[in-house]
Structure 1
Amino acid sequence: MSSNYFSESSSSNINDSLMNSNPATPPEPSDTSALSERYQDYFIASAQRKNQSRYDHYPLSKSALPESLKQFNVNSGNVSYRFYDMASSEDVREFDLSLVPQKNSLVSQPSSLSERVSVRHRKRICRRNDVSSISNSYAIPPSPKVEAPLTPISQRGSPFCSSSQTEPLSLTSIAEKYQSLPENVQAYTFFQMLRSCERRSMRPLMNKCELLLKKDLLAHLPNFIVRKILGYLDFPSFLTVALVHKKWRDIISSFTWYWRLQFENSGFSVDLQDWNYAYPLKPPPPFLHNNHVADEYFYDIFKRHYLKKQRWISPAIPPSHLSFPVHDSDRMVTFLRIHKDKIVISSESGSIQIHSAITGALEARLEGHKDGVWAVQIHGNTLVSGSLDKTIRVWNIKTGECTHIFRGHTSTIRCLEILSPKRVFRDGRIVIEPSRPYIVSGSRDHTLRVWKFPEENDPRYLPSESTSIEQWEKNPYYVHTLMGHTESVRCISGYGDILVSGSYDYSIRVWRISTGDCLCHLRGHTLRVYSVLYEPEKNLCISSSMDKTVKVWDLRTRACLHTLEGHSLPVTLLNVVQDKLISGSADSTIRIWDLSSGTQQMVMYANGGYIRTLQGDEHKIVSSNDGSLKLWDIKTGKLLKYLLTDVSGIWQVHYDENRCVAAVQRDNQAYLEVFNFFGRDSKM
């Protein structure tokens, strides 16, 4: 537009308005920047007008200028501005404004090159030195007296836009310049910006300011102090901390050690499933410990163990319950095991039944024994059974076929054990023992017999009943007979190449299976030995007896380390969990002992009837007595719940990670009661 856009009188009024404006913090009259600030008040107020009527009237005395724009230095008598509104490019309006400084307020030397300032809808401001000076043809009002000479305005101009730079100012550069201002100037600038904001936009801004005023407690602390603080949190609080702020979440995610700490504080121990999850291609060490697994895996490992515990101890929903009768309705169930998604049971009738753990349907019936089956072991797809008929039978679980029959014992086979090759320490190095799997059977004929475990592709061996004793020992799967006990062999337990046996002759013997050697003979009980356990890592043997005691033996020294007394009737059941020994007795009590010191930790009273079944793990114990099935907390000894109460008797109980199965008698009928703690019809 023409430079005569304003009349001479209007120019005079503008200069009067600039000289008489009253900003929030007026500068001293001698401050040369004051006049420049007043010029800017006018420029920006004019640029913000959004319609033609705003170009016709310029109430500069009422305008408010943001602090960030009050430092522009104007060194020419005429400045040209261009205003860009939200309109299209055709509607862009341009006007020229001549600002005449007072003689005593600005430098007396000739004016420099005129500067053009473009205001583009509050987005950016730039200054370009490409506009020629516009002649000063406007009236100049008289200037007031100034007592002292004023300091010339710097040629650098505004701190936000250098005269030597031609590129536009971005929001980022404005923010950087703002940060370089003194603290009090920053405060004043921010306050003035707030004053110019609409009320509706101030509310979210104030909420963000409130967040910025909050102090981060963790970001400024040393790492070891943060670890100490977070170590006191339980894991629900720990997870809540991660939701507070992204920085806190990053801190939480970096503290993988915390989940190991929670894992150990909860009394959990890594197992083979955990190892296979962390190192699927690496063989496990001989005996797994928590320190064998790296911290990075403990979040998922802890999650698995914790959820398993919660499902059993305090489930969100009750476990599903399946009850169905077994076919031998009038016979006692002598053995029960959960094998994958199957339930295997044997009975006094001599039959072995395989049921679906999901539906209860009978999937297979293994028949061949002529009398009751009292000992069963499962290894992979192979089942081995021992019977009152003095024989051992080997079965294919998938097909239900009997593939091998071993004869040789002259009395009831009371116990069985399958010893597979294990990684163990021998003379300071890791070895695998034995070289192949073995079957060991204990009998009332006072002997133990060792047999080769038939592999899947080995030839069948099904001798007739008329085969003589001499022919029995020509069995290609027969290895040798272990002799030494003088009474019935009641119980056996082994690991790797070592097996311990307990007998009614009051003694325990330790054998090396591959050679048949008796390594030691342990005496000390005064009545029949009823149960034995072999603890391979510590090389201990634990035995219980009809003499009401439990003994802990060191197999290295052959010495009795502890005699555990407290039960008032025969001790019939033993279970080792981590460093705890659990014993069950006919006196209706379950006792927990410290295996290292031999001290009694707690007693759980089952209230009537001897303890018939007992099984425990890192967080629970399941026991049966007096027609009831009970669930206990192993850490506190508290009775958590009754799983069953409406039965005449309970013969066998077994549980895995997800299910608990009990063989019971109700109204002279045998039933299987299946409790699914993982979820209805779940498969693992």
Structure 2
Amino acid sequence: MRKKSKCDKGRSNGPDLNGEIMSPGEFKIRLDALCSWVEDCNEYQKDAILRTLFPHLGASQLHWLSLQCPDLHAQCPSGCNDFIQKLPIHCAYKILSYLDPSSLTASAQVCKYWRDLSNADWLWHRLCFIQKWRLSSFGSRDQITRLRQRSNTGDMLINWKHVFRERFKLRRSWLSGQCHVRTFEGHTGGISCIQLDRNRIVSGSHDKTIRVWNIKTNSPWSVMTLSGHSGEVRCLYLEGNRLVSGSADSTIKVWDLDIQSEWSSIACKVTMVGHLDKVRAVTMNRNKDLVISGSYDQTVKIWCLKTGSCKRTLRGHEGPVLCVHWAGFTLLSGSADKTIKQWSVETGECIRTLTGHGDAVTCISLETDRIVTGSLDRTIKLWDSKTGKCVSTLDWMSSEGHTGVIRCLQADNWRIVSAADDKTIKVWSLETGRRLVTLKSHTDGVTCLQFNDFCIVSGSYDKTVKLWDFTVC
């Protein structure tokens, strides 16, 4: 018998007693002998063999065994004691932990004992935090707070199966495009920018105003109108009760939405002056008291949130800066010069320039190790944030993409949502780049959007704001 070589690694049917590889013929002889020996054993001995072998099984064998359980049990006589009941409970749970949600639900229909096992809270808690079913930190807190129940002892309990059921239905609605659409009207010009939080939508318009809408009521009318800009409101960023707005009047304003007053000038806390042309993009970090803006004057500026003073100006783009994104230590900007630049906020140094779009870069988002950009060239590109290399392109020819110029997009851990002048919103898989669904309701180009785990809000040239709610289907 030949000795084991490197080429044989992973191809063995199992070692023989001397540690050498068994030939297929010898393995079959031994396997047949083992089967014959097991057949000659009584029930007690067979149970002992199974219990002895079980701890030596690997993950793939346990997974296969878990899939066979419903079929095996269906062949048993009425009132039988299935082998799951004979296993130590931690072994039974181990088998069930390999089941997907549908199989775990089906196992609950086998018998009462299996139902009790499959309803174990920790099994559903585990599923809730698998990547596919995990919500954002905001979405998870919101859902768990809402579903928390008080027990007889006064403790606050969470039914994790109920939590998972909601998440399963929510994801199914996203994948199928099933949602309820609400329309908010009031602006007299096209909508250019939009922000969303737990209770509010904030929109900016070509009519030079900012409107605040309460999404917890059924009213389609705004609850607050902020006036102060002398030009179109082109960009917004909302964090808590602090709102930052940028305008075609070249200024940036900071508003306090906690002040309930019909006089919007009371709510304006700071006005930042320094850009020489339209302000097209803003973002904010309240922990560092910084605001970052991009302008048609081809610069990116870093401002002090409290004083409104400009701390640093970043130069390098050769065209208007149309979008900025700040996440952690990474600041990104996109421009009409067709490039994306990555900057150091601390030093103002341009770390990397990404090239590849055929026209102006209009929108940008960063999720983990993926930079996602949209352009007037009607494509969406995904880039490796570590190397700056383009890893995929989504377009209308190869990916059922947009047929109009792309105005806005946002990404999270599993999806990209984009909108364009073709009047549509599209949802994509971040991992595969596959188009999942196309949403239609606007009657003109969609200029802005934002989404969370539960809904999308969008604004359009048609002067309306729409809320696409995936929780009600």
Give the TM-score band, short-chain normalised: 0.5 to 0.7
Counterpart among 643, 647, 656 of residue 439 in structure 2:
643
Partner of 2:83: 216
Counterpart among 271, 294, 303 of residue 165 in structure 2:
303
Partner of 1:384: 226
Give the superposition deviation at 1:491: 1.6
State the one-letter code of the partner of 1:543. Answer: S
Partner of 1:235: 101
Partner of 2:393: 603
Contact 2:192 2:459 in 1 (8 A): no
Q: How does 1:106-505 map to 2 (within 5 A)?
A: 210-211=77-78, 213-217=80-84, 219-220=86-87, 223=90, 229-254=95-120, 256=122, 259-261=125-127, 263-266=129-132, 268-276=134-142, 278=144, 298-314=160-176, 318-320=178-180, 328=188, 331-335=189-193, 347-349=205-207, 363=221, 383-385=225-227, 387=229, 389=230, 414-417=234-237, 420=240, 440-443=244-247, 448=252, 453=256, 455-456=258-259, 481=272, 483=274, 485=275, 487-496=277-286, 497-505=289-297
Q: Distance in 1 between matches of 2:311 and 2:471?
A: 44
Contact 2:204 2:233 in 1 (8 A): no
1:627/1:602 Cα in 2 relative to 1: closer, same or farther (>3 Å)? same
1:501/1:648 Cα in 2 relative to 1: closer, same or farther (>3 Å)? closer
1:300/1:553 Cα in 2 relative to 1: closer, same or farther (>3 Å)? farther
Give the superposition deviation at 1:663: 5.2
Partner-residue secondary structure (3-state), 1:264: coil
Q: Distance in 1 between matches of 2:249 and 2:427?
A: 39
Partner of 1:17: none
Scaled by the length of structure 1, the TM-score of the pair is 0.46
Counterpart among 394, 409, 430 of residue 614 in structure 1:
409
Partner-residue secondary structure (3-state), 1:583: strand
Give the superposition deviation at 1:441: 4.7
State the one-letter code of the partner of 1:553. Answer: W
Partner of 2:12: none
Contact 1:512 1:518 in 2 (8 A): yes
Q: Distance in 1 between matches of 2:465 and 2:321?
A: 30
Give the superposition deviation at 1:503: 2.8
Q: Distance in 2 between matches of 1:239 and 1:219?
A: 21
State the one-letter code of the partner of 2:226. Answer: V
Residue 624 (1) aligns with residue 414 (2): no
State the one-letter code of the partner of 1:526. Answer: E
Give the superposition deviation at 1:560: 4.4
Give the superposition deviation at 1:571: 0.8
Counterpart among 325, 328, 349 of residue 533 in structure 1:
325
Q: How does 1:543-622 map to 2 (within 5 A)?
A: 543-556=333-346, 558-577=348-367, 579-595=369-385, 598-605=388-395, 606-622=401-417
Please give the root-mean-square deviation of Cα atoms over the aligned residues, in Å.
4.7
Cα deviation digits, residues 516-573 of structure 1 (max 9, x gap): 56555444433322111121xx232121112222233343565545433332211111
Partner-residue secondary structure (3-state), 2:130: helix
Q: Distance in 2 between matches of 1:489 and 1:646?
A: 26
- Structure 2 residue runs of 5 or longer lacking an equivalent are 1-43, 45-73, 147-155, 396-400
Give the superposition deviation at 1:235: 1.0
Give the superposition deviation at 1:611: 0.5
Q: Distance in 2 between matches of 1:626 and 1:458?
A: 36
Partner-residue secondary structure (3-state), 1:266: coil
Partner-residue secondary structure (3-state), 2:129: helix
1:325/1:442 Cα in 2 relative to 1: closer, same or farther (>3 Å)? closer
Cα deviation digits, residues 55-107 of structure 1 (max 9, x gap): xxxxxxxxxxxxxxxxxxxxxxxxxxxxxxxxxxxxxxxxxxxxxxxxxxxxx
Partner-residue secondary structure (3-state), 1:244: coil
Q: Distance in 2 between matches of 1:325 and 1:382?
A: 13
* RCO comparison, higher one (Cα < 8 Å, 6+): 2
Contact 1:547 1:570 in 2 (8 A): yes
State the one-letter code of the partner of 1:574. Answer: I
1:675/1:493 Cα in 2 relative to 1: closer, same or farther (>3 Å)? closer
Give the superposition deviation at 1:586: 0.8
Scaled by the length of structure 2, the TM-score of the pair is 0.63
1:539/1:629 Cα in 2 relative to 1: closer, same or farther (>3 Å)? same
Give the superposition deviation at 1:266: 0.3
Partner of 1:283: none
Partner of 1:28: none
Give the superposition deviation at 1:236: 0.9
Partner of 1:542: 332
Give the superposition deviation at 1:384: 3.5
Q: Distance in 1 between matches of 2:324 and 2:366?
A: 11
Partner of 2:428: 633
Give the superposition deviation at 1:574: 1.7
Q: Distance in 1 between matches of 2:343 and 2:311?
A: 14
How many residues were matched structurally?
A: 385
1:343/1:491 Cα in 2 relative to 1: closer, same or farther (>3 Å)? closer
1:211/1:343 Cα in 2 relative to 1: closer, same or farther (>3 Å)? same
Partner of 2:39: none
Partner-residue secondary structure (3-state), 1:247: helix
Cα deviation digits, residues 190-235 of structure 1 (max 9, x gap): xxxxxxxxxxxxxxxxx99934655414752583x65654343211
Contact 1:627 1:647 in 2 (8 A): no
State the one-letter code of the partner of 1:588. Answer: R
Q: Identity of counterpart residues, as a percentage?
A: 26
Contact 2:203 2:212 in 1 (8 A): yes
1:335/1:234 Cα in 2 relative to 1: closer, same or farther (>3 Å)? same
Q: Larger deviation: 347-356 or 521-530?
A: 347-356
Contact 1:341 1:357 in 2 (8 A): yes
Partner-residue secondary structure (3-state), 1:525: coil
1:383/1:272 Cα in 2 relative to 1: closer, same or farther (>3 Å)? farther
1:267/1:481 Cα in 2 relative to 1: closer, same or farther (>3 Å)? same
